[in-house]
Amino acid sequence: MSEVKNPALYGDGLVKIDWVKRFMPVCGELEKAYAKEKPFQGLTIAMCIHLEAKTARLALLLRDAGAKVVVTGSNPLSTQDDVAAALEHEGLEVFAWRGETSEEYERNLQCLLSFNPDLILDDGFDLTTMLVERFPQKVGKVIGVTEETTTGLIRARNMAKAGKLPFPVMAVNDARVKHLFDNRYGTGESSVYSFMHNTNLLIGGKTFVVAGFGFVGRGIAEKLRGLGAKVIVTEVDPVKALEAHAEGFTVMSMDEACQVGEVFITATGNTGVIREEHFLKMKDGAILGNAGHFNVEVDVEALEKLAQDTYEARPNIMGYRMPNGKVLFLIAEGRLMNLAAGQGHPAEIMDLSFAAQFLSLKYLMDSKGTLQPQVLLVPAEIDEEVARIKLGSLGIKIDQLSRSQEEYLNRW
Amino acid sequence: MSEVKNPALYGDGLVKIDWVKRFMPVCGELEKAYAKEKPFQGLTIAMCIHLEAKTARLALLLRDAGAKVVVTGSNPLSTQDDVAAALEHEGLEVFAWRGETSEEYERNLQCLLSFNPDLILDDGFDLTTMLVERFPQKVGKVIGVTEETTTGLIRARNMAKAGKLPFPVMAVNDARVKHLFDNRYGTGESSVYSFMHNTNLLIGGKTFVVAGFGFVGRGIAEKLRGLGAKVIVTEVDPVKALEAHAEGFTVMSMDEACQVGEVFITATGNTGVIREEHFLKMKDGAILGNAGHFNVEVDVEALEKLAQDTYEARPNIMGYRMPNGKVLFLIAEGRLMNLAAGQGHPAEIMDLSFAAQFLSLKYLMDSKGTLQPQVLLVPAEIDEEVARIKLGSLGIKIDQLSRSQEEYLNRW
Amino acid sequence: MSEVKNPALYGDGLVKIDWVKRFMPVCGELEKAYAKEKPFQGLTIAMCIHLEAKTARLALLLRDAGAKVVVTGSNPLSTQDDVAAALEHEGLEVFAWRGETSEEYERNLQCLLSFNPDLILDDGFDLTTMLVERFPQKVGKVIGVTEETTTGLIRARNMAKAGKLPFPVMAVNDARVKHLFDNRYGTGESSVYSFMHNTNLLIGGKTFVVAGFGFVGRGIAEKLRGLGAKVIVTEVDPVKALEAHAEGFTVMSMDEACQVGEVFITATGNTGVIREEHFLKMKDGAILGNAGHFNVEVDVEALEKLAQDTYEARPNIMGYRMPNGKVLFLIAEGRLMNLAAGQGHPAEIMDLSFAAQFLSLKYLMDSKGTLQPQVLLVPAEIDEEVARIKLGSLGIKIDQLSRSQEEYLNRW
Amino acid sequence: MSEVKNPALYGDGLVKIDWVKRFMPVCGELEKAYAKEKPFQGLTIAMCIHLEAKTARLALLLRDAGAKVVVTGSNPLSTQDDVAAALEHEGLEVFAWRGETSEEYERNLQCLLSFNPDLILDDGFDLTTMLVERFPQKVGKVIGVTEETTTGLIRARNMAKAGKLPFPVMAVNDARVKHLFDNRYGTGESSVYSFMHNTNLLIGGKTFVVAGFGFVGRGIAEKLRGLGAKVIVTEVDPVKALEAHAEGFTVMSMDEACQVGEVFITATGNTGVIREEHFLKMKDGAILGNAGHFNVEVDVEALEKLAQDTYEARPNIMGYRMPNGKVLFLIAEGRLMNLAAGQGHPAEIMDLSFAAQFLSLKYLMDSKGTLQPQVLLVPAEIDEEVARIKLGSLGIKIDQLSRSQEEYLNRW
């Protein structure tokens, strides 16, 4: 009953899944732990996700743990047709193909809901919103939802505030094993990769400007410095700026930095961080990219207005000729460069997030009837279990608090 | 009316103060800002502190801002007599000398209270406790207290919980400009210095075991690695352990680490982190030090019991011959090595903390009558003002949020 | 008279050349300096090179400096047809296309010689060898040759030793601005890129084994560590091994390292560095790549013999199932990974080498009749001029020795 | 027959020697290897050295290997009287005390020669020069000399050039295990220590200017950066300057750097690197130190002439008030800061050098009669043996070339 572009592509999809599976040991351990027990037996899980190899691995894990799994893509452009075919081949119900129209995307969401899911794994909250707004009769069966994105959680919290959230939503995005790792290490490395991939330029000795010294900016700044770059940090928070300074980065205002930087990467979560006044002061050949979630950090609209002329300088890189004759280069239209012009997060990073997803779904099921219809933090035990399994897969042992140590700590 | 060891030493003390003053620009800017205005005019501030050059600089700043300042040491062994003499020479009332007896220490606290202070700057909460418990008649005049130590704040919070705290206490220890900087950078660098100073050994290539990957442990681990050491991290929290792993450190249990480490530095805040079972497995010549607040992290008692023989191997380093014939070396009796066998935090670090102290005292004064008798967090504005002044002293400009950016952020 | 695959592709080729041109400022400065003067006027230069954008930029520089430039590829698989078309479009004589047969390759070399070159820029010494062995009548006109590869220089030195070298050959490969930069920084970064690109895996926390601690191995080890990897170094030279240790790397024999490594990169210049005995001890999923010039460092033949089964796990990655059931992955068949499965050296690196090429050709011309028919080192002045131009392009000023400083140094 | 200040101090000296002995494992292995065999039996070795714990350990090693050892200090200020007493207590002939006059120093050299040494271990070449110039009758017995300093080797080479060197001199200074390690790692770490020790200031975030990017400068720059400093490098060699740039350091001329640096450390081997024109442009409070061999890199004479006023700001730090009112601070009078205001090289570094000394003395003895009266390089075998023993002491195994690998390498 699935709908995929070409079921015959399943072989390629399986090879892709096989590769990432090897580097997702926590999911592997969960599979070992739950494949016999099958805790999700009898339940239907609807997944709305970026459909590629790593998410497919999560879908298969849920299937092996007993669930009936129905899947659609969360973005028409991120679906990989061979992976979709592989999931269909494995017996899942899949409704997704690359290049769906908006109507098709919506119809696919409806298809999923037609299976009357018990649990929802959402990415952006589209599926849940459709359920609540248009299929109230199906709401009662739903035990809960896990949501991994910042955006999705904002929507969930707004729904809760409005008194309209009918079931608990687990904020997987806020789990320590998620945000401590994917921002600093995942986005850090994959943004550096994206720069290298799209430019084939040298990092050593080059002057990079990293806007923002939160987890993402810090991760990028540290990785670039590790490769020999000179890194300038811009910030609006003086305490973070002082941290960057104390760690040896050069701190400037963007007004100064724009005049000396060779490459700019934004990671602020804010809008208009690099804008008209900066474009006009930049060096000829400056390169701009964005590692923040939304494509508003570099003011692309202003860039386009200013440009006398544009041309594709390399795949994924557009050149904009400024009125002063200088050319600025923009990677991936200012969209999240590690995804839009890269390969996304490494498998090892997603392994941690997806293990937290899996255990959060299990927690929802185990706690059925006891949780409030709110956005809930992932319990510390889940973070610790994920980390412990990961450490175990690496053969790493850590210390345990002795009774006397616990007592000592509790004394305070 | 002061009591110091030898007033004639004041010249040496002034030279010491002059040195640190140059590297405490935030205090310098505050002096410029408030020396004319003299906001503390008419108030008496009692300071109970480690009396050395950096704290003396804070005392003089308060004096220049109009306060009558009365001073005693918070620890009989940390008082520097030349600095005490310098403060007396500058016209402050000082009651402190190195090597005070307990009785003398207590009498000096009483002397301070005899001045009927309006504000108290405490370090460990001894002075405040004496005031509340033994001089209730003087409590009414006190506007509030600032307290910089973890221990002092625990005592303050216990007093508040018991309903016995009569005035507000500012938790300067928890300010961002304090704990983000002194733990990672201050303790990090000064612990490395202490190791170098006491051993004259090479760090490059050496295997260090750092117990704990909190701010202090992380700081030490990063600085050691920056010098070429191989760093093993031990932890009890699996998520922190995984962070250490992801940043390239080797993570082990202490049971494994104790067999391969050449130097061990504890930074856990816990007790008995390195103990009998570990001592017996260590390599001959292993060196142990502690960077945590209390001298309980290395089980010195157990070490002494085990030892067949002890000897002073270098100043501040004791050798313990184990029953297996191996010798272990302990730096500074397991006490905080950067203080007990070093020179303490660099002036630049204390500058931030003391600026937060100054502004917290001013905040207490300005808010007189409006604050609850509780332990209060330092307002974000103070953190930001300190950081902003520090950045300014470095000639660093940072960005300001535009109105549209603020709106964008508030939309979420 | 050129022969290229498709002249219509020239537009794409020009865009590629335009991109690298911007990041090759030394060549740009040389163009400015010599485009008017045209020092090579009247001379024909034959170039046998990997024909892609960066080498095309060098060809155009020589053209602009007055030379008639005739070009062929040095490897049938490295020719980019759009770049070849662009050079033809620019008026150069080009004889090269991707996928030439051996016969075609040879015929193209002959075509070049039919132009009776005055200077030869060779890459591997094929063109020069053909000239000397088969066209002795053309030898007399040749002023000299520049050769950039190690292999080519070995062939040149053998020819000189045999008394058969008829003209001087400049060893551009040995110039400081070449080998100090392309090995450590160029190969270092591009090998890291190749790993990221082909695996999409995380580097932070992963255990890499780098075989060899020469310039290439050191470069790779440092870049990987800069990204958070744990790096094990293997060596045969005890002094280099001790350097690696002192810089904080873990040093092991390959016999030990093969059991703990997750990724292996060879950079020894030797043969059989990773071989049967190691394959059988490796972890399941270990990944192997080579950054040395020849594909003999990983014993691929042995790997294939051992394999029960092979499959393409990702593009450019072959999986080999060992008799013990484990799977090992090999990047790019054990060939130089940054070229065979990457994008080669960044433009900034080639800029330095090519400037040294240009100035070496000019030196040959200017010294015509005065140089011995030997392999000659690039004069220190050329190294210094290239470096000085590069520093100038970055706006960097350095110090000059004063007369008294020169005297001081000469006193020794 | 020894002459030391106070024989009763021997206990303190023995404790100092015992400490360094533990961290000099190569000397320890040589002791194990040769204490029974006693290869130097019957020979007298005259040592002229900085007499402190590490050199004492070498003297005892030679004694244990059978030699009669006679010792004097190479500098009247570096002799530690307790260590001298310890050597006397151990039965060596010692003629050295702290604070010798020039006459006493010379008389002590003569005392050594009165023992008619077979081998000389010299440090600066004073002892050898006296022997050759004033005691020609004793020259015949001398098998050879080892010399560890650059200065001493210059004097030896001048003597050889003048045809006056009567015996071979081993250039221990040029051994790989010496210069690769003590310059980068030894001077690097100990200069950083000296800065920390003398200033008690923070390194993280501070702007350091390192003059010179040879081995010493590079070592210091890397260690400082590892601690979070911002490091500016000045150079006169454009290729080295470009290397520094490519590794992420900021490169400037001293004229620019002097205006932005907070701390300056010279390591050029040249004279007048920081001079009047720079002093006048420096920031108030700038700190200057030197890590080069001679105290000519900072032009102290000019500094003193400029100064309106000087004062001791901290032990080992002199403040100079410039005509513009700013104060500059100079560490240790511009002398080698890690020695003059530090604790010298770590024991692990000296262990390598001294093992090379020991084996060079043995090589001279074993090759008696076959070596030319020249300055000779330490044979590669000695470098390798020292490195191999050190690796062994660390439990590190490295690879051996197989026969087929050797053949492969020789093929080239």
pLDDT of residue A297 exceeding 90, the answer is yes
Q: What is the residue type of C353?
A: S
Contact (CB<8Å) A180/B239: yes
> From the candidates C278, C394, C396, C410, which should be mutated to test the interface with D, based on the most D CB atoms within 10 A?
C396
pLDDT of residue A75 exceeding 90, the answer is no
* pLDDT above 90: percentage of residues in chain C: 94
Q: D116: helix, coil or strand?
A: coil
- End-to-end CA separation in angstroms for chain B: 60
d(CA D107, CA A396): 64
Return the sign of the alpha-carbon dihedral for residues C220, C221, C223, C229. Answer: positive
Closest-CA distance of chain A to residue D268, Å: 22
Q: Crossing angle of helices A81-89/A10-22, nearest 10°? A: 90
When pLDDT is cut at 50, 70 and 90, the band that residue B9 belongs to is very high
Mean residue pLDDT of chain C comes to 96
DSSP string, D348-392: HHHHHHHHHHHHHHHHHHHTTTTS-SSEEEPPHHHHHHHHHHHHH
> For C168-188, what is the mean pLDDT?
94
Query: Contacts of residue D29 in chain C, CB cutoff 8 Å?
Result: none
Residue A235 annotated as part of some ligand binding site: yes
Contact (CB<8Å) A193/C189: no
Contact in structure between A137 and A159 (CB atoms under 8 Å): no
Q: What are the E-state strand segments in A253-299?
A: 263-266, 287-290
pLDDT of residue D387 exceeding 70, the answer is yes
Q: What φ, ψ does residue D46 adopt, rounded to 5°?
A: -100, 125
d(CA D325, CA D308): 9
pLDDT at A151: 86
Q: What φ, ψ does residue C210 adopt, rounded to 5°?
A: -110, 115
Query: Contacts of residue A238 in chain B, CB cutoff 8 Å?
Result: 384, 387-388, 391, 398
Place of tokens 């950078």: B185
> For A312-323, what is the mean pLDDT?
97
DSSP string, A316-332: TEEEEE-TTS-EEEEEG
pLDDT digits (tens, 9 = 90+) for D113-128: 999 999 999 999 999 9
Which token pair is D152?
A: 């001493």
> For A184-190, what is the mean pLDDT?
95
> For A125-130, what is the mean pLDDT?
96
Q: What φ, ψ does residue C276 adopt, rounded to 5°?
A: -40, -55
Q: What φ, ψ does residue C409 adopt, rounded to 5°?
A: -65, -35
Q: Which domains are present in chain D?
A: 7-178+345-393 (3.40.50.1480), 185-340 (3.40.50.720)
The single-letter DSSP state of residue A313 is: E
DSSP string, B249-277: -EE--HHHHHHH-SEEEE-SS-S-SB-HH
> For B352-357, what is the mean pLDDT?
97
When pLDDT is cut at 50, 70 and 90, the band that residue C196 belongs to is very high
Residue D217 annotated as part of some ligand binding site: yes
pLDDT at A294: 87
Contact (CB<8Å) C405/D238: no
Contact in structure between B388 and A238 (CB atoms under 8 Å): yes
d(CA D40, CA D62): 8
> For B265-276, what is the mean pLDDT?
96
Contact (CB<8Å) C201/A348: yes
Considering only alpha carbons, which residue of chain B is nearest residue A223? B247
> For A303-323, what is the mean pLDDT?
97
Which token pair is A77?
A: 């452009």
Contact (CB<8Å) D344/B189: no
Place of tokens 């933090």: A377
Contact (CB<8Å) D239/C384: yes
- End-to-end CA separation in angstroms for chain D: 60
Q: Is C177 in the D-facing interface, judged by CB distances under 8 Å?
A: yes
pLDDT of residue C175 exceeding 70, the answer is yes
pLDDT at D161: 94
pLDDT digits (tens, 9 = 90+) for C102-118: 999 999 999 999 999 99
d(CA B213, CA B273): 13
Residue B73 annotated as part of some ligand binding site: no
Q: Which chains touch D (3 or more CB pairs under 8 A)?
A: A, B, C
pLDDT at A412: 62
CA separation, residue B372 to residues A285, B148, B153, B166, D163 (Å)? 58, 19, 16, 9, 90
pLDDT of residue D203 exceeding 70, the answer is yes
pLDDT of residue D412 exceeding 80, the answer is no
Those of residues 184-213 in A touching chain B at CB distance below 8 A are 184-185
pLDDT at C412: 62
Considering only alpha carbons, which residue of chain A is nearest residue B401? A236
D346 → closest Cβ in B23, B202, B312: B202
> For D155-184, what is the mean pLDDT?
95
Contact in structure between B173 and B179 (CB atoms under 8 Å): yes
Shortest CA distance to A203 belongs to which of C27, C186, C53?
A: C186
Contact (CB<8Å) B246/C228: yes
pLDDT at C150: 86
Q: Is C225 in the B-facing interface, judged by CB distances under 8 Å?
A: yes
Query: Contacts of residue D180 in chain C, CB cutoff 8 Å?
Result: 239, 243
Residue B28 annotated as part of some ligand binding site: no
The single-letter DSSP state of residue A268 is: S
d(CA C326, CA C280): 9
Q: Is B250 in the C-facing interface, judged by CB distances under 8 Å?
A: yes
Closest-CA distance of chain A to residue D11, Å: 42
pLDDT of residue A19 exceeding 70, the answer is yes
> From the candidates D208, D225, D230, which should be mutated to test the interface with A, based on the most A CB atoms within 10 A?
D230
* pLDDT above 70: percentage of residues in chain C: 100
Contact (CB<8Å) A205/D229: no
pLDDT of residue C1 exceeding 80, the answer is no
d(CA A268, CA A272): 10
Q: How is the beta sheet containing C309-314 ordered, strand by strand?
A: C250-251, C230-234, C207-211, C263-266, C287-290, C327-331, C317-321, C309-314
Ranges of H-type helices in D200-275: 215-226, 238-246, 254-260
pLDDT of residue B1 exceeding 80, the answer is no
d(CA D148, CA A223): 41
pLDDT at A77: 81
A397 → closest Cβ in B253, B401, B409: B253
Query: Contacts of residue A229 in chain D, CB cutoff 8 Å?
Result: 248
pLDDT digits (tens, 9 = 90+) for C348-394: 999 999 999 999 999 999 999 999 999 999 999 999 999 999 999 99
Residue D293 annotated as part of some ligand binding site: yes
Shortest CA distance to D187 belongs to which of D343, D51, D357?
A: D343
pLDDT digits (tens, 9 = 90+) for B26-81: 999 999 999 999 999 999 999 999 999 999 999 999 999 999 999 999 988 889 99
d(CA C233, CA C241): 8
pLDDT digits (tens, 9 = 90+) for B160-205: 999 999 999 999 999 999 989 998 999 999 999 999 999 999 999 9
- Cβ partners under 8 Å of residue D409, min gap 6: C269, C270, D401
pLDDT of residue A58 exceeding 90, the answer is yes
Q: What φ, ψ does residue B285 adopt, rounded to 5°?
A: 90, 5
Contact in structure between C406 and C384 (CB atoms under 8 Å): no
Q: Is B247 in the C-facing interface, judged by CB distances under 8 Å?
A: yes
Those of residues 79-138 in C touching chain D at CB distance below 8 A are none
When pLDDT is cut at 50, 70 and 90, the band that residue D77 belongs to is confident
Mean residue pLDDT of chain A comes to 96
Residue B234: other Cβ atoms inside 10 A: 30
Place of tokens 């001890």: C281
Q: Is A227 in the B-facing interface, judged by CB distances under 8 Å?
A: no
Residue D1: other Cβ atoms inside 10 A: 10
pLDDT at B150: 86
Contact (CB<8Å) D15/B227: no
Shortest CA distance to D274 belongs to which of D296, D306, D248?
A: D296
Closest-CA distance of chain C to residue A348, Å: 6
Q: Would you say the pTM of this structure is higher than 0.90?
A: yes
d(CA C209, CA C255): 11
Q: Is C240 in the B-facing interface, judged by CB distances under 8 Å?
A: no
Query: Contacts of residue A236 in chain B, CB cutoff 8 Å?
Result: 398-401
Residue B219 annotated as part of some ligand binding site: yes
C246 → closest Cβ in B204, B246, B248: B204
